Amino acid sequence: MTQNQAKSTTFAAGISAVVLFDIAAYMVVLAARGSWSDYDIPPGTDQLGFLMFGVFVASVLLTTVCLFSCRRQIAAGGKAFFITLALATTLLFGTVAALKPIGSVDNFWNTLMSRGWTQYGRNPYLTTPIDLKTDPIFPRTAVEWGRTGMMYGPLWVLAAALPTLVLRDATAALLGMKSLVSAGYIAAGLLLFAFLRRRRNPQANLFLAAWLLNPAGIFEVANAGHNEGLLLLSLAIFAIGLIEKRPRLILPGLTAAILIKIWPACLLPAVLGIKGVRRKEWLYGAVISAVMTVVSFAFFWHGWEIFRPLLGRLNNLVPRCFSPGYYLLTYAAQKLAGGSMARTASAVRDAATVVMVVGVGLAGFLAARGRLSALAATKTIMMIFLFIFLSWLQPWYLLAILPFCLPSADEEGAATYLGLIAGLGYLSFASYIMSWMSLAATVAVSLILFLVAIYLSRILRSVRSKPPS
């Protein structure tokens, strides 16, 4: 066996271990949910919460260790690498997407609302699940969403119509919805990979492997069917546009993201950091965005009342949160007011809103003055939104950060990138065991992982700088 063949075998063995562990972990969680009759997200029982946290964190660490130990084979690429990664992706996403979702509220609700439009002719913005109670999916829809109209944008509704239009069976439609968002997630990774390859970034292969083997992506997209899978595709276009300073990509990419979920609108001030671009380029981007918006809303237009559920979503802030900053605001408000959470909820929401508005405004101002790049401003706004303003931090929300966290070209930067991804994965799944102790432990371990990555990057840099003996 040659040295190259040995390296390929080592890489294949590592990826095989990751795939087998992830599938086995998924089956264990599936069985545990059934035996404990706990289908909530996050889990309602402490035992299931710790089980899910344990298996997912183990998967995050196993995947990161595998990618780091095989980083040279991954960087070299070659046919064996791409075949192995393609098989792993097919097995992971295919297996998980083909099974019924584990406690996914969004998947049932989105599929039901889409069926209401494609099969019953009901406008999703003027319809609630209660109006579709004869549909076989209705009993599995969350009770708290029973009277909620479509709260996502029209571009998402149009995309979500594809599986329910083609697959008439309710169970098949649920699986089709998971396949749709999985395709969006994989497409976003491939698009960013192609972008890195075009820029001759030697860590492009590592990025692709980390993206496709990411446990959060597999469980929250392929399993849970969250529409972040499709949102990531538009955010990837937006991220590429920011890096290359191309308004033709920036404005349509951001507009598409807003037309899927309304929250990316807070990223608009970051665009002020784009300088030195002709007005014609901005005009092209604006025209494409305007046409996209008018056409997508035209399918559902029935007066201004269609915006009621969309605007109502903005008020859906509650203080039962895991977002670290929001959690700290809640704790501080309770200590200052000396009352219950119900009495301090309004103060917490007001404080989080002020921090969000000031943070977005400051990021936009610094970007406009040239003191902050558009990409850095985007990261700043997104971190404020996710960790302070957002009331309920879950793994699928953190996926939105990934298109803006691409690895640098050097090897030590790749080590830091893997540390960052591992830290995000660890932090995101901590929402399954919400407590002050878990929050402190999660932040501590995430920091340790990041510091270890920095230490490893320095070792790599020192080794590479030593002259050959």
The model's pTM? 0.89
For residue 309, what pLDDT is reported?
A: 77
Domain map of the chain by residue range?
Answer: 106-313
pLDDT in tens, 90-126: 999 999 988 877 767 788 999 999 999 999 999 999 9
pLDDT in tens, 163-204: 999 999 999 999 999 999 999 999 999 999 999 999 999 999
For residue 342, what pLDDT is reported?
A: 59
For residue 188, what pLDDT is reported?
A: 98
CA 158, CA 68: separation in Å to the nearest integer? 40
For residue 106, what pLDDT is reported?
A: 84
For 355, 400, 432, the CA distances from 384, given in Å and listed in that order, are 8, 13, 21
For residue 412, what pLDDT is reported?
A: 75
Residues 75, 210, 76: CA angle, nearest 5 degrees:
10
* 92 touches 23 (CB < 8 A): yes
Burial of 371 (0-12, 13-18, 19+ CB in 10 A): exposed
Residue 258 corresponds to which tokens in the numbers above? 């807003």
Return the CA Rg of the chain. Answer: 22
pLDDT in tens, 41-74: 667 787 888 888 888 888 988 998 889 888 888 9
- Neighbour tally for 120: CB within 10 Å: 12
Burial of 389 (0-12, 13-18, 19+ CB in 10 A): buried
Eight-class DSSP state of 399:
G
Residue 177 corresponds to which tokens in the numbers above? 């919805």
Contacts of 408 (CB under 8 A, 6+ apart): 201, 203, 414, 416, 417
CA 44, CA 66: separation in Å to the nearest integer? 32
What 3-state DSSP class applies to 327? helix
For residue 193, what pLDDT is reported?
A: 97
CA 356, CA 385: separation in Å to the nearest integer? 7
Residues in the chain where the model's pLDDT stays below 70: 1-9, 41-42, 103, 312-325, 327-328, 331, 334-345, 391-393, 431, 434-469
CA atoms within 13 A on the CB side of 210: 33
CA 381, CA 393: separation in Å to the nearest integer? 15
